């Protein structure tokens, strides 16, 4: 047995499933997860010393690649000043000002430590601000694992509040309405009927938790119009897309002006920083100014904030997003060509440094279509790539991420691995 298998056995004796976040356990692809010892640039190294090209990037944060020297230096300096004070620091103002400058819809911003917290707080804020209880989310969108948002809803029309986790009372999710992604007609019908009772709509403008599914312009515009008309708070969840699909986030690509935006992942640069922010009028409902309670012992932690700030500085270098987008586009184009060469039904697309690959002839536009992707072919492909030193997300429901350190030689090596992997998919599955 290799060290990864030994450690996975050991981990499962003291950690549920051997992991601290479920998808890491490789359950949907099988086999032992790789235990990572260190990483540098586009590469990660497991405990066996095997090198992998990393297309997970810690699920989004590592946009600069691993161990960026400027970020590491800033963090080391911050550590020397102390780990946590539970009192205001200058870095918190700096990062708030930086976020405001980069995302014009944000007038005030509160830092938290995870995207889950940002989502939970944003929902509470929207409810507190509007005095309404009902919330709307979309099938296949993920906004963290707080109770009221853990609803996926079945197929068909409106699905009222069936929790998708044990331990979530239906009393909590009864006020969560789940609609289809990219179905503006359904959204409009709901708002015509009960828009005045809805506290907020929460959406991923480019969905990244059902693989990658970009919203249509019409979908988001209808959402903005209807929410504005009915005094409903529009929350755009940019935990994944913020500073990832573009410097101004997905809202800059779609020219959508949300009331509240959630951030996470890239703004922490690999440390626990997330945030929710938006219109001053709404944000002023948060404690200590307003009646909506929200707090955190480690919120705005000085070391984590330093890491986030240093990351936000690096991504503002001229040409950063142009290059990141080009490299990501080269990857998906190359993968598409390899699949075609081997006659495997496959599609792929990218926005900025984020991509989706699908074992399906056409890129999906809804959760239902994502469900039609061929999980068995993906599984074969995933393991062939992993054996060949390419680390993709171990699920057909995850998006992929490219860093600025994924240069042409890294992409070329990935495509060589893909050449063999697609050949294997064809051999095994026909
Ligand atoms: C990752 C993610 C979250 C949750 O963030 P955590 O830090 O894992 O709690 C919320 N929303 C979206 C869109 C995400 O991608």
pLDDT in tens, 323-357: 999 999 999 999 999 999 999 999 999 999 999 99
* pLDDT for res 161: 62
* pLDDT for res 163: 73
Residues of the chain with pLDDT under 50: 154-158
* DSSP three-state, residue 424: helix
The mean pLDDT value of the chain amounts to 96
CA–CA distances in Å: residue 284 to residues 128, 152, 266, 277: 11, 31, 25, 10
How many CA atoms does the CB half-sphere of 220 hold within 13 Å? 21
Among 264, 296, 353, the mutation site with the greatest number of ligand 1 atoms within 8 A of its Cβ is 264
207, 141 in Cβ contact below 8 A?
A: yes
Q: Measured from the CB, is residue 209 less than 6 Å from ligand 1?
A: yes
Angle between helices 217-229 and 184-194 (to 10 degrees): 10
What's the alpha-carbon Rg for the chain, to the nearest Å? Answer: 21
* pLDDT for res 1: 81
* pLDDT for res 158: 45
147, 173 in Cβ contact below 8 A?
A: yes
279, 260 in Cβ contact below 8 A?
A: yes
Residue 391: active-site member:
no
Q: Measured from the CB, is residue 137 less than 6 Å from ligand 1?
A: no
* pLDDT for res 151: 84
Q: Measured from the CB, is residue 129 less than 6 Å from ligand 1?
A: no
Q: Would you list the domain boundaries of the chain?
A: 3-63+318-429, 70-314
Phi then psi dihedrals of residue 103, to 5 deg: -125, 95
Q: How far apart are CA 415 and CA 409, in angstroms?
A: 10
Q: What residues contact residue 99 under an 8 Å CB cut-off, 6+ apart?
A: 106, 109, 263, 267, 275, 277, 312
Compute the C-alpha angle 190/233/266, nearest 5°: 115
Is there a shared CATH topology between the 3-63+318-429 domain and the 70-314 domain? no
* DSSP three-state, residue 409: helix
Short-list 355, 357, 360, 356, CA closest to 373: 360
DSSP H or E segment with residue 53: strand 51-54
Q: How far apart are CA 387 and CA 199, in angstroms?
A: 48
CA–CA distances in Å: residue 179 to residues 48, 54, 157, 170: 45, 34, 7, 17
* pLDDT for res 160: 56
Q: Measured from the CB, is residue 242 less than 6 Å from ligand 1?
A: no
pLDDT in tens, 149-201: 988 654 444 455 667 788 988 888 899 999 999 999 999 999 999 999 999 99
Catalytic residue among 134, 137, 265, 330: 265
CATH of region 70-314: 3.40.640.10
**Quick one: CATH architecture of 3-63+318-429?**
Alpha-Beta Complex (3.90)
């Amino acid at each position: 047995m290799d060290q990864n298998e030994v450690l996975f056995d050991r981990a499962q004796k003291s950690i549920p499933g051997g992991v601290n976040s479920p998808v890491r356990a490789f359950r949907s692809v099988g086999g032992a997860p790789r235990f990572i010892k260190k990483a540098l640039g586009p590469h990660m190294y497991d405990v066996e010393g095997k090198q992998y090209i990393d297309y997970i990037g810690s699920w989004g944060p590592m946009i600069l690649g691993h161990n960026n020297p400027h970020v590491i230096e800033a963090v080391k300096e911050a550590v020397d000043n102390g780990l946590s004070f539970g009192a205001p620091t200058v870095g918190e103002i700096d990062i708030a000002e930086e976020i405001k400058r980069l995302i014009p819809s944000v007038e005030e911003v509160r830092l938290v430590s995870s995207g889950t917290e940002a989502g939970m707080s944003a929902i509470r804020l929207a409810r507190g601000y509007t005095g309404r209880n009902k919330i709307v989310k979309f099938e296949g969108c993920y906004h963290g694992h707080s109770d009221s948002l853990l609803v996926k809803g079945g197929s068909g029309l409106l699905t009222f509040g069936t929790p998708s986790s044990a331990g979530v009372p239906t009393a909590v999710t009864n006020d969560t309405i789940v609609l289809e992604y990219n179905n503006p007609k359904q959204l409009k019908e709901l708002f015509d009927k009960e828009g005045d009772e809805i506290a907020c709509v929460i959406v991923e403008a480019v969905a990244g938790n059902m693989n990658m599914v970009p919203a249509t312009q019409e979908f988001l515009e209808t959402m903005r119009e209807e929410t504005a008309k009915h005094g409903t708070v529009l929350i755009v969840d940019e935990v994944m897309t913020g500073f990832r699909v573009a410097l101004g986030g997905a809202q800059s690509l779609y020219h959508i002006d949300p009331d509240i935006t959630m951030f996470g992942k890239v703004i922490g640069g690999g440390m626990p920083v997330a945030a929710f922010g938006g219109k001053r009028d709404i944000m002023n409902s948060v404690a200590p100014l307003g009646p909506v309670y929200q707090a955190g012992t480690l919120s705005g932690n000085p070391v984590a904030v330093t890491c986030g700030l240093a990351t936000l500085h690096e991504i503002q270098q001229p040409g950063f997003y142009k290059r990141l987008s080009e490299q990501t586009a080269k990857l998906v184009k190359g993968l598409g060509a390899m699949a075609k060469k081997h006659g495997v039904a496959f599609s792929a697309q990218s926005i900025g440094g984020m991509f989706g690959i699908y074992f399906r002839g056409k890129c999906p536009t809804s959760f239902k279509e994502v469900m039609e992707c061929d999980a068995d072919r993906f599984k074969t492909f995933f393991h062939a790539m992993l054996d060949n030193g390419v680390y993709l997300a171990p699920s057909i429901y995850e998006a992929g991420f490219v860093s600025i350190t994924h240069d042409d030689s890294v992409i070329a090596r990935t495509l060589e691995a893909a050449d063999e992997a697609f050949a294997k998919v064809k051999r095994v599955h026909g």
